[in-house]
Amino acid sequence: MYLGLGRAGESSYHDRALKLLMDLVAHADDGSEPYWRAWCELLEALFEDAEYASADTQLASLELRHPRFDEGRFGLEGRLRELKRKLGQKRKK
């Protein structure tokens, strides 16, 4: 919800959403559904904010720890692979 409001011009909501997602990533059980959903939303938000270097670094780190991401358990592997592809295109520019 906060990310949606942030996209509508409410930057304080957007900042809160990013903080919440970072907290979830840091404190959710590794490999749990909240962990994966928070990672996916956080990385997509960074990409949308044109924070390509940060998104790329964090996605690479995540992939080192989990080469197959969520292994299809929560339906997020495809989204993360697509984000990786988009970030690769940004690096080429």
Span 21-48, pLDDT tens digits: 999 999 999 999 999 999 999 999 999 9
Task: Give the predicted TM-score (pTM) of the model.
Answer: 0.85
Following DSSP, what letter does each residue of 43-82 receive, concatenated?
HHHHHHTT-HHHHHHHHHHHHHH-TTTTTTSSS-HHHHHH
DSSP state of 31: T
What's the domain count of the chain? 1
**Domain range for residue 57?**
2-92
Looking at residue 10, what is its pLDDT? 62
